[in-house]
Amino acid sequence: MVYQRINSNRKIKMSFLELQNITKIYPNGTKAVNETSLNIDNGEFVVFVGPSGCGKSTLLRMIAGLEDITNGEISLDGNVINNIDPSERDVAMVFQNYALYPHMSVFNNMAYGLKNRGISKEEINNKVNDVAKLLEIDQLLTRKPSMLSGGQRQRVAMGRAIVRNPKIFLFDEPLSNLDAKLRNQMRLEIKRLQRQMGVTSIFVTHDQTEAMTLGDRIVVINNGVVEQVGTPKEIYSKPYTKFVAEFIGSPQMNLFNCKIENGIAHIADMRINLNNSANIDDASLGIRPDDILISDNGQHTCVANLVEYLGSDMIIYSKIGDQEFSCKLSSKINLNAGDTFKFDISNTLVHLFDNTNGSRV
């Protein structure tokens, strides 16, 4: 593969990108990122996900060098890059609004970074043409960005990053300006390209679907703190904190405030045997809407307050005591609003969190 980065003199045992106790405090006193440490391997696709304002973009911008680091150390490929100019870090970034150069043709947009590196015209021509073909934008090279559609602009922005053959790709919510259909298409394409080129990539998004589908590993960030790092599967099946549990998964995980005595959870007048000996006064019991098992001989009975029909699935909204919950089930089951239904909550499928610190029990 032409664009594969050869990494012969990589130091053993050292991660490709290392973040050590990174802290960012803005001049106005806001703490955007707090003591974050993270190791990313070469060729890995890592997604930073979290609600808006959680510090994920700041973290990315610090890696790019667009934001000063208040405290901590970032090293890339064995070198500390804290004080290295963004242009010399050898990173490429795709911005949310693409930041294409409006006065330059697509070709010049892609060639600009190469020109600044003093690469010969011929080589620039070859590189740009190769990448343009790869992204299927070779017909557009003479156009100005204002003459392109959203999807095409996105491709040009990607092309501009790819053509530089950087050590790391940084994506700052690049899909959020596209419509749903195009977004899915581009998502697949980004994944395919990243696999093909094997370049380490960091992708920032607030969209959990993007996070789950793109990432080899996901970093869930909240309030400037990393809540959990793991593969999509780990994050989904074993969230470390209440925040992660709620943030990942759609529809959102049900969390019941409850009291646990000798391994039995008390939710209003419902009892669930957790098959352990836990004793927690203030706990949250989480269960994903599709993990609630509906059957005619279920132990618990509730009334469906609202039924949302989604085609193959439907979502039922109901209440236990005064706590609302939802369950997702196949729409083949005949259930209407106002009907009662029976269900089981299996203790192997629940997630238990201590409300005092939000962490998993």
Partner 1 sequence: MKFKPLEILTHIILILGVLLMVLPIWFSFATSTHDNVSIMTEGMKFFLGESFSQNYNEVLNEKGGWSEEVTAARMFVNSFIMALGIATLKVVISAMSAYALVYFRFKLAVPIFWLIFITLLVPLEVRIFPSYKIVSDLGLTNTYTGLILPLVASATATFFFRQFYKTIPDELLESAKLDGANSWRFFIDFLLPLSKTMLAAMFIFMFVYGYSQYLWPLIMTTDEKYWTVVMGMKIIFTENYEGVALPRTGERFAYIILSMLPPVLVVVILQRWFIKGLIQTEK
Binding site for partner 1 (CB under 8 A): 64-66, 85-88, 91-93, 95-97, 99, 101-103, 112-113, 116-117, 144, 146, 160, 164
Q: State the nearest-atom distance from the C-beta of 328 to partner 1, in Å.
A: 39
Which C-beta is closer to partner 1: that of 4 or that of 116? Answer: 116
Residue entry with tokens 């892609």: 110
Which C-beta is closer to partner 1: that of 79 or that of 116? Answer: 116
Let me know: does 236 contact 249? Beta carbons within 8 Å.
yes
Residue type, 29: G
Q: State the nearest-atom distance from the C-beta of 189 to partner 1, in Å.
A: 21
Q: State the nearest-atom distance from the C-beta of 158 to partner 1, in Å.
A: 13
Q: How far is CA 144 from the centre of its chain?
A: 32
Burial 204-224 (b: 16+ CB within 10 A, else e): bbbbbebbbebbbbbbbbbeb
**Whole-number Å distance between alpha carbons of 131 and 307:** 49
Burial of 252 (0-12, 13-18, 19+ CB in 10 A): middle
Which C-beta is closer to partner 1: that of 97 or that of 237? Answer: 97
Which C-beta is closer to partner 1: that of 77 or that of 354? Answer: 77
Residues in the chain: 361
Q: State the nearest-atom distance from the C-beta of 41 to partner 1, in Å.
A: 23
Which C-beta is closer to partner 1: that of 115 or that of 259? Answer: 115
Which C-beta is closer to partner 1: that of 95 or that of 317? Answer: 95
**Whole-number Å distance between alpha carbons of 269 and 283:** 16
Q: State the nearest-atom distance from the C-beta of 22 to partner 1, in Å.
A: 19
Which C-beta is closer to partner 1: that of 65 or that of 230? Answer: 65
Cα-based angle 263, 268, 302 (whole degrees, multiple of 5): 110
**Whole-number Å distance between alpha carbons of 268 and 224:** 35
Residue 318: enclosing H or E segment and its boundaries? strand 313-320
The candidate with the shortest Cα–Cα distance to 125, out of 107, 102, 149, is: 107
Q: State the nearest-atom distance from the C-beta of 89 to partner 1, in Å.
A: 8
Sign of CA dihedral 239, 241, 244, 245: positive
Let me know: does 164 contact 8? Beta carbons within 8 Å.
no
Which C-beta is closer to partner 1: that of 148 or that of 267? Answer: 148
Angle between helices 150-163 and 106-116 (to 10 degrees): 20
Q: State the nearest-atom distance from the C-beta of 78 to partner 1, in Å.
A: 21
Let me know: does 59 contact 221? Beta carbons within 8 Å.
yes
